[in-house]
Amino acid sequence: MHRFKFSAEELEQYFLDLMAGRRRKWYDRVIICLLFAASRFYRMAVQFRHWLYDKRVIRNQALGCLVVSIGNLSCGGTGKTPVVEVFARSLSQKGRKVAILSRGYRRKKRTFWEKLAHAFNSGEMEFPPQVVSDGTNLLMDSEHAGDEPYMLASNLPDVAVVVDKNRVKSGIHAIDEFETDVIILDDGFQYLKLKPHINIVLVDSTDPFGNGHVLPRGILREPIKNIRRADYIFLTKSDGTHKNAHLKRFLRRHTRRAEIIECCHKPQHLVKLFSNREEQELSFLNNKKVAALSAIARPESFENFLEQLGADLVARDHFADHHRYTQQEIIDFINTAKAAGAEMVVTTEKDAVRIPHIDRCDVPIYYLRIQIDILSGKESFDQCISRICFM
C-alpha cells in the first residue's frame, strides 16, 4: 500500500517537472505535446461548463446565508489557508456565526464496508457531512478531516469546520446545526454548484500562472481571463515593493472591477511539536543549524523564510504536496538531521498536522507559524469585511 502511494507521488512530481520545464529528454517532449493537446480539450470543457451555468442551463444553488468563496486559478501553492483563517477570524470577531466548508482534500475515505454498514443501518446511501469542529470542540483528527480543515479548526476555536465533497449539503448542515450566517467556501472558485455572494481569488505574486497553460499542460484550473469573476484579488507572497506593478497591470486587462490587495505570509513564531504548543521567538533560529522538512507545493518559500531568519540549513527534504508521513520517514529524517549536525528540525504548520507522534527528543521538531499581513489595500480588506458583515 505504501509503495503504491509513494509511486503515485513520484508520478505527480514527474508531471510537475514537465509543467515547469525541468524535463527535457526526447520522450518528455513527446509527453508534453500530448499534454498540450489534452489541455486544449480541458480548456474547452471548462469554458463550456461555465457557459452552461451562465445561461442557466445548469442552475447553481443559493443558501439561506451569505457565502464567501476563497479560491485560486492555479493548483496549490498560493497560501490560501492563512487567508481563509484571517477572514474567518475577522468575521467571527465581528460577531458573525462563521462556518468553513471544505472538501477535505486527501483525507482518509470511508471504506466500502463502512458505506455498506451505513446504508444497511440508516437506509440512506449518503453519509451526512463530517464535522471537524462545531465551533466549540475539535471532533476529528487530521487523517480523517484533511490537513487544511484540521489546521483551520485547531486555530479557529469559535468557527465551525465541515467537510464533504458536496458543499451544498454541508452548507445546509452548517446552517441547520450551527445557525451559521456566513459560510466561507474554501477552495471554492471552481465550485459552481453553490452561488457565492463574494468571490475572492488568490494569485501567487512570485509565480502567478505557471507557464500559462491549463491542466494537464500547466497548473491553471481554468483560463486566466476567468479571473473577471473575482470581486477581490489577493496578491499573496508579495514583498511590498513595486515588482508587482506589471502583474497588477496584467490583471487590470482582465478585470476592471476587482479590488486588488497585496499581502505577505509573515512568520510569527516557532511551536514545538508534541509539547502542548510550547512557543519560541523567531530569533531562536538565528545561527542555528536547522534541518528543513516539508511536503507543500512550494517548499522554496518556506526554506527562504528560514534562511532569512538566520538559520543555517544543513539538511532538507521535500515530499509531494499533502504527503502523510510515516513514523519511519520521520525517524530517518531525524537521523539525517543528526548526522548533518542539525540542532533542530523545522517544518511547516500544514506538515505538522501530518507528522505522527514519536518519542524521540534528541533533535526537537518545531513548526513555523505563519499569518497574513496586509501590505497594500488594507482599506479594501476592511471594506470587504464590513461588506460581508452588513450584507
Task: Annotate 260-319 with DSSP letters as a single string.
Answer: EEEEEEEEEEEEETTTTSEEE-GGGGTT-EEEEEE-SS-HHHHHHHHHHTT-EEEEEEE-
Q: What is the mean pLDDT of residues 354-371?
A: 91
Lowest mean pLDDT across 195-209, 230-244, 274-288 = 230-244
Q: Could you give the 3-state DSSP secondary structure of residue 27?
A: helix
CB-CB contact of 182 with 190 (8 Å): no
Greater confidence (126 vs 375) lies with 375
Minimal CA–CA distance to 190: which of 217, 235, 218, 223? 223
**pLDDT tens digit sequence for 40-63:** 999 999 999 999 999 999 999 999
Confidence of residue 3 (pLDDT cuts 50, 70, 90): very low
pLDDT of residue 125: 59
Q: What is the mean pLDDT of residues 300-312?
A: 93
Confidence of residue 78 (pLDDT cuts 50, 70, 90): confident
Give the global pTM.
Answer: 0.90
Greater confidence (11 vs 95) lies with 95
Q: What percent of the chain has pLDDT over 70?
A: 94
The per-residue pLDDT of the chain, averaged, comes to 89
Cα distances (Å, whole numbers) of residue 274 to 133, 141, 193, 330, 356: 21, 15, 40, 14, 10
pLDDT of residue 1: 40
Confidence of residue 197 (pLDDT cuts 50, 70, 90): very high
pLDDT of residue 116: 58
